[in-house]
Structure 1
Amino acid sequence: MPPFRDEVVFVITTGSHTTRVQYGLAESLTPPQKTVATRVYKADNGDGKAPYSLEGPESAAIYPIVKGRIENMDALLYLIESLYRTTTNMSTDSPFAPILLTCNSEWQPSQIEEIITYLFRRVRVPAVTIIPESLAALYAYALQIACVVNIGEEKTEITPIVDFNIVESAQSVVEIGGKDINKALQSLLPTLQPYQIEELKRSPIYEVLSEESMSFFGELSAPATSSLEEEGIVDVAAIVANGNAREILAQREQKKSSKLVDLKNSEMPRNSFIDSKGQTVELGTERFQGTEDMIERLSHEIGNVIGKLDDIARRGDCWENIIIVGGPTVIKGFVDAVLLSLQEHFLITRGTTYSELPSGLNTPGYGTPPATPAVYGQTLGHGQVPTTIKLAKMADYFIGYKGHTWEDAPFLGSQIAAKQIFTPGIASIDGAYMSREDFAERGAREIWNLGLL
């Protein structure tokens, strides 16, 4: 039975741009206690102290992780140790908090072993476990099979997971990320500064629209107005005859203003947001653009990954449990647009049944006409394309996450995993962490025997 208490568990997830930290696991899990940039600074103190610092000028900044890859191990180890000690208020001699750390497929086995060795020998932690970030996302959804799409700033990791095991032969890392949206928006809005582009993405006025919501500029026409007044035509003669023209016109303007306030963002030809420097940025329909190419490429890659699974039944399970996490998921309509793209390109929509399809008939894949072989998977047979594509349903019983975006769902999953791995309870997982004694007897390679990586 795991021997640690909830209040002493330390969870840390490190991405290329952001690191999230939590010390202590509440009964109802909450968003991270700390969110900091994955960045340290070169310190030139000449007094024999640590060569890095958590503060400094941008000219001295060092980014330990680039596109998911560890580029500066010493800097990363310093960041992890510093956050561990400052968050837990532990001295060098008496640490007692076990650590759960996430990794991604870009981390090399030797690097993972180096991190474990450092944590035991230098930080002297009592216990360590490392789990893939994609597996952590799975925990957040309380599933055992899914296709996890983790979208970062510069790359996306697409990971099929079957019975809690990552299918490495199908896993893919592609250079698609939030930067592609920034690049597209910068082309559309060349007068905006890069920081404004980033803030626009996270503002309420930026969203991805479906055809049904394109009311003023899309293909769907607006409903007919019911009166001349609603169309903006004023019956001047009627107002003059009434004798109170000023009052009637004031009421009419108030009514018109009220209607404008009630309009949804998608119904407004123009809208604005205020950036971090207090400037008002007003935009037209550009605020609904910039994601199209990324979504198309993303859906294509997801189809390719799922198509690589050998077990056709498991493909179907993955198609019914698509998990999309990462920064762009905060954009209103983005996740739904990815789902619609997947359904458009991969879903069987014919009215016929399986029994009516000849077994040798090729079924269309991404952008493929019915008479040619499917692109993804490069295989034949109608049983290999999905009849259902769904987004997985996030667990909704964590009160602390109510109203919080699922951008960092992997962090929630990391907390759930840490609770099951380190603390006693009905759902505890035995033998899923390394103790100091395990490290002394078998070394850092013991991490590979835990069945999590």
Structure 2
Amino acid sequence: MPPFRDESVFVIATGSQTTRVQYGLPESLTPAQIVVPTRVYRMGESGFSMEGADSDAIYPIKEGVIEDLHALQYLIESLYKGTTKFAPEVVPFAPILITCNSEWRPKQIESIVAHMFNNLRVPAVTVIPESLAAVFSYGTPTACVVNIGHEKTEVTPVIDFCIVETAQTVAHGVGGKLINDELVKLLPNLKPSQIEELKRSKIYEIPSDTSMSFFGEPSAPATSSLEDEGIVDVAAIVTSDNARELLAQREQAKQNGTQSEPKNMELPRNSFVDSNGNRIEVGTERFKGSETLLEQLSQAVGSTITKLDDISKRGDCWDNIVLVGGSTAIKGFVDAVLLSLQEHFIINRANTYSEIPSGLNTPGYSTPVSGGYGQLHTMGHGQVPTNIKIARMAEYFLGWKGHTWEDTQFLGCQIAAKQIFTPGIASIDGAYISKEEFAERGAKHIWTLGLF
């Protein structure tokens, strides 16, 4: 049985852009206590600091790849000591769970594990892949995890909590930066920092209905309607169950001269305030820029799932698409990904294709659809999806209600840490290295824990 207490567990999730940290696991799990840039500063020939000049900044991880191992180890050490508030001479009793990326090399992971034991003198360490952390947060043992970074996306099938490395797709150059690049073309007068702030603002959203095309202007001015012109849909009122109330509400609104505030999608122009306090007005460009990213994400997901040998598990993955990463915080993004996947791959068995023998190829994979998907080969229409669903995070984590999906992997880290390090009904035995095991077997023991 794991011997540690909830309040003594240290969780750290390092990404190319940001690192999230939590010391202690509250009874109701919450988003990370600390979020910092994944950045340190060069001090002298071999030293580092958490503060410094921009010219001395070092980013240890780029596109998921560790480019400066010593800088990353310093970042982990500084955050651990600063968060747990242990004096250097005191032996802390805080086990560590850290996430790793699929592109971290085994020797690098072993070096990080050894550094934690040798330099931080921790009692226990475990390392969990980011994709596995994602499925923990959604409570589903089988899923297709789409981790969308700034400049890279990883698509990873997880079957019964086991990563299928042979089917994993790593798409460099596919990430949130593609949206920035498109917006720069559409809004050349804005600085790159303002483009990023626009993308993160409330006025930037991705339409996923027929009211606006991804490639064009609104089909009609959304700020005008029949009702605005004094024309009332009498048929709709008469057939309504509460016709009297509807008429009374309309009359009251007319007398008060009140109008409901138009939605962002209904406005031809809207504005946001940048970090310098400047109000910037943007037209319908604020609904564009996601087309390339959505297309490439769909291609990566389709290519990944078709690599699975077990056909029955393909359907399970299509039913549980787990989306994580910064871009998922954009309003309408998740819906747009689902729509794109459905447009490219969905097959309705009730249509005429249901009569085609299973030995023949069908649209969505082997037949080119929307140009460029012919390479996604399959052997029969029984192997293509009839349903595609985006997985939903569990509702019982009250601290995460209303929180965006971008860092739900961290929730998975907390759940895993609770099950791995602390006693309970759902505890997982033997999923960490103790200091005694490290002294006897070394950092290579990490590969025997069954987490990779």
After TM superposition, the score normalised by the length of structure 1 is 0.89
Map of 2:361 onto structure 1: 362
| Cα distance in 1 for residues equivalent to 2:372 and 2:381 | 11
Structure 2 residue corresponding to 1:101, chosen from 73, 98, 104 = 98
Q: Contact 2:366/2:376 (CA < 8 Å) preserved in 1?
A: no
Map of 2:287 onto structure 1: 288
Structure 2 residue corresponding to 1:92, chosen from 88, 107, 113 = 88
Amino acid at match of 1:57: A
> How far apart are 1:424 and its partner, in Å?
0.3
* Unaligned runs of at least 5 residues, structure 2: 233-252
| Cα distance in 2 for residues equivalent to 1:224 and 1:410 | 43
| Cα distance in 1 for residues equivalent to 2:54 and 2:256 | 51
> How far apart are 1:380 and its partner, in Å?
1.4
Indicate the SS of the match to 1:446.
helix
Q: Contact 1:303/1:376 (CA < 8 Å) preserved in 2?
A: no
| Cα distance in 1 for residues equivalent to 2:352 and 2:94 | 57
| Cα distance in 1 for residues equivalent to 2:87 and 2:401 | 35
1:81 is the counterpart of 2:95: no
CA pair 293-284 structure 1, distance change in 2 beyond 3 A: same
| Cα distance in 2 for residues equivalent to 1:414 and 1:227 | 51
| Cα distance in 1 for residues equivalent to 2:226 and 2:366 | 40
1:58 is the counterpart of 2:58: no
Q: Contact 2:117/2:123 (CA < 8 Å) preserved in 1?
A: yes
Q: Contact 2:270/2:281 (CA < 8 Å) preserved in 1?
A: yes
Indicate the SS of the match to 2:210.
helix
Map of 1:235 onto structure 2: none
CA pair 436-343 structure 1, distance change in 2 beyond 3 A: same
1:440 is the counterpart of 2:439: yes
| Cα distance in 2 for residues equivalent to 1:325 and 1:277 | 29
Q: Contact 2:208/2:336 (CA < 8 Å) preserved in 1?
A: yes
| Cα distance in 1 for residues equivalent to 2:312 and 2:375 | 16
Map of 2:307 onto structure 1: 308
Indicate the SS of the match to 1:28.
coil
> How far apart are 1:375 and its partner, in Å?
3.2
> How far apart are 1:29 and its partner, in Å?
0.3
Amino acid at match of 2:61: I
Map of 2:38 onto structure 1: 38
Indicate the SS of the match to 2:302.
helix
CA pair 373-210 structure 1, distance change in 2 beyond 3 A: closer
Structure 1 residue corresponding to 2:149, chosen from 141, 149, 152 = 152
Shifted more, 325-334 versus 399-408: the winner is: 399-408
> How far apart are 1:226 and its partner, in Å?
4.3
| Cα distance in 2 for residues equivalent to 1:220 and 1:363 | 37
| Cα distance in 1 for residues equivalent to 2:263 and 2:367 | 37
Amino acid at match of 1:440: A
Q: Contact 1:307/1:376 (CA < 8 Å) preserved in 2?
A: no
Map of 1:424 onto structure 2: 423
Map of 1:242 onto structure 2: none
Q: Contact 2:221/2:266 (CA < 8 Å) preserved in 1?
A: no
CA pair 7-227 structure 1, distance change in 2 beyond 3 A: closer
| Cα distance in 1 for residues equivalent to 2:436 and 2:228 | 81
1:188 is the counterpart of 2:186: yes
Amino acid at match of 1:393: R
Q: Contact 1:373/1:379 (CA < 8 Å) preserved in 2?
A: no
Q: Contact 2:365/2:378 (CA < 8 Å) preserved in 1?
A: no
Map of 1:18 onto structure 2: 18
Q: Contact 2:143/2:320 (CA < 8 Å) preserved in 1?
A: yes
| Cα distance in 2 for residues equivalent to 1:146 and 1:376 | 23
CA pair 436-306 structure 1, distance change in 2 beyond 3 A: same
CA pair 355-289 structure 1, distance change in 2 beyond 3 A: closer
| Cα distance in 2 for residues equivalent to 1:202 and 1:366 | 34
> How far apart are 1:92 and its partner, in Å?
2.6
Indicate the SS of the match to 2:450.
coil
* Unaligned runs of at least 5 residues, structure 1: 232-250
> How far apart are 1:227 and its partner, in Å?
6.9
Map of 1:203 onto structure 2: 201
| Cα distance in 2 for residues equivalent to 1:376 and 1:165 | 27
| Cα distance in 2 for residues equivalent to 1:218 and 1:192 | 23
Q: CA RMSD, aligned part only?
A: 2.4
> How far apart are 1:164 and its partner, in Å?
0.4
Indicate the SS of the match to 1:290.
coil
> How far apart are 1:401 and its partner, in Å?
1.0
| Cα distance in 2 for residues equivalent to 1:204 and 1:374 | 34
| Cα distance in 1 for residues equivalent to 2:255 and 2:102 | 59
Map of 1:330 onto structure 2: 329
> How far apart are 1:402 and its partner, in Å?
1.5
Q: Contact 1:364/1:374 (CA < 8 Å) preserved in 2?
A: no
> How far apart are 1:355 and its partner, in Å?
6.0
> How far apart are 1:221 and its partner, in Å?
7.6
> How far apart are 1:404 and its partner, in Å?
1.2
Task: Pick the structure with greater CA Rg.
Answer: 1
After TM superposition, the score normalised by the length of structure 2 is 0.89
| Cα distance in 2 for residues equivalent to 1:381 and 1:326 | 33
Amino acid at match of 1:348: I
Amino acid at match of 1:429: I
| Cα distance in 1 for residues equivalent to 2:200 and 2:366 | 31
> How far apart are 1:398 and its partner, in Å?
1.1
Indicate the SS of the match to 1:300.
helix
Q: What pairs up with 1:267-278 in 2 under 5 angstroms?
A: 267-278=266-277
Amino acid at match of 2:30: T
Indicate the SS of the match to 1:211.
coil
Amino acid at match of 2:138: Y
Indicate the SS of the match to 1:161.
strand
| Cα distance in 2 for residues equivalent to 1:80 and 1:318 | 34
| Cα distance in 2 for residues equivalent to 1:184 and 1:226 | 36
> How far apart are 1:149 and its partner, in Å?
0.3
> How far apart are 1:373 and its partner, in Å?
12
> How far apart are 1:400 and its partner, in Å?
1.1
| Cα distance in 1 for residues equivalent to 2:40 and 2:372 | 50
| Cα distance in 1 for residues equivalent to 2:145 and 2:348 | 24
Q: Contact 2:99/2:128 (CA < 8 Å) preserved in 1?
A: yes
Amino acid at match of 1:345: H
> How far apart are 1:357 and its partner, in Å?
1.9
Indicate the SS of the match to 1:12.
strand
